[in-house]
Amino acid sequence: MNFEEHVLPMRIADVERDTGISKDTLRVWERRYQFPKPQRDSLGERLYSQDQVERLRVIRRLLDQGMRPNQVLGMDLSELHLLLDAHSSQPTDTSRHATCLSLVRLLRTHCSRELRRSLNSILIKDGLQAFITQTIVPMSGIIGNDWIRGELTVPEEHLYTEQVQNVIRHAIHSQETEDVPPRILLTTFPEEGHCLGILMVEAMCVSEGAYCTSLGTSVPLPDIAKYAMDGKYDVVALSFSAAYPSRDVIKDLKQFRHILPEEISIWAGGAGLIQKRIHLPNLAVLTDIDGVPGLVRDWRQQFLGGQHD
């Protein structure tokens, strides 16, 4: 039985949640580029087919990688997949790329124990920061592309997330640090349920000897601000995945900056911030995990005179 034939069309609000593309943007694209082309129900509400939603998922990922709407909106799904493959970040080291592919194969063949052992072996060999930047980041890109193409099942995607998070958490807890400032509070806003991004940031900061506390995901903004103030934290680090509602990112960060004392720095990063122009006091925006150690060192240079570098 072909289950695709029985997938119901999606309303515009559901497409917004699924793809991270705002309703306003979808309407603009419809007028300007004649895509997407939704049907209408009896009440005139837009209905999007499964094929259009799949194309929009890939388009959102390509936009996150720097493409412009006019470059991609006229492409069919197969063309978008080819472009995604061409633009996907891969390790410059071909052997490293081969290692990432072998890890993905372990995932796809349900070899969970072997996957965990392989991840731990790479971690021990490379160290925590290199493990994050050279293995987990490119591997997550491969997983994300496979997910968009429908080549990864929900259990496989969940298995990947669980395995990687468990390995990183164990590595963080195993770090022997001096807990040198800055004191960093890590979390996400209520509409962000993905925790891998903020966990990777924590790993990078802990490796620099910083004092880190994670509140997990989806914490109300006033609660984050109060905890940061009560705990005398120097920095609040936030992660925004590509799934975060695009139209809310700047608004939510402005609101949070308003309720958080200006002397507490905000570090915000993730795919949800790509191509966003945000200028707020004492806010640093990163779209590359490689930049996290530099933020820690810059903070120490500014507030501690670099004496702990």
One domain for residues 151 and 182: no
One domain for residues 13 and 52: yes
Kindly report the pTM of this predicted structure.
0.82
One domain for residues 188 and 167: no
pLDDT averaged over every residue in the chain: 89
> Residues of 273-308 as b/e, b for ≥16 C-beta within 10 angstroms?
bbeeeeebeebbbbbebeebbebbeebbeeeeeeee
Q: For residue 179, is pLDDT > 90? A: no
| pLDDT tens digits along 87-102 | 765 555 788 889 999 9
Q: CATH number, domain at 182?
A: 3.40.50.280
One domain for residues 67 and 136: no
The pLDDT value recorded for residue 1 is: 40
Query: By percentage, how much of the chain surpasses pLDDT 70?
Result: 94
DSSP 181: E
More confident residue, 3 or 101: 101
Q: CATH number, domain at 55?
A: 1.10.1660.10
* Side chain identity at residue 42, one-letter code: S
For residue 11, what are the domain limits? Answer: 3-87
The pLDDT of 259-281, averaged and rounded, is 92
One domain for residues 168 and 211: no
Looking at the 3D structure of the chain, how many domains does it have?
A: 3
One domain for residues 244 and 158: no
The answer to whether residue 309 sits within a structural domain is no
The pLDDT value recorded for residue 292 is: 97
The pLDDT of 259-266, averaged and rounded, is 98
One domain for residues 99 and 169: yes
The answer to whether residue 12 sits within a structural domain is yes
Q: For residue 285, is pLDDT > 70? A: yes
The answer to whether residue 226 sits within a structural domain is yes
Is the distance from CB of 284 to CB of 278 less than 8 angstroms?
Answer: no
The pLDDT value recorded for residue 307 is: 58
- Cα–Cα distance, 31 to 19 (Å, whole number): 19
The pLDDT value recorded for residue 3 is: 41
One domain for residues 183 and 220: yes
The answer to whether residue 115 sits within a structural domain is yes
Instruction: Give the lowest-confidence range in 143-147, 201-205, 222-226.
Output: 143-147
The pLDDT value recorded for residue 177 is: 66
The answer to whether residue 229 sits within a structural domain is yes
The pLDDT value recorded for residue 25 is: 87
Q: CATH number, domain at 147?
A: 1.10.1240
The pLDDT value recorded for residue 2 is: 45
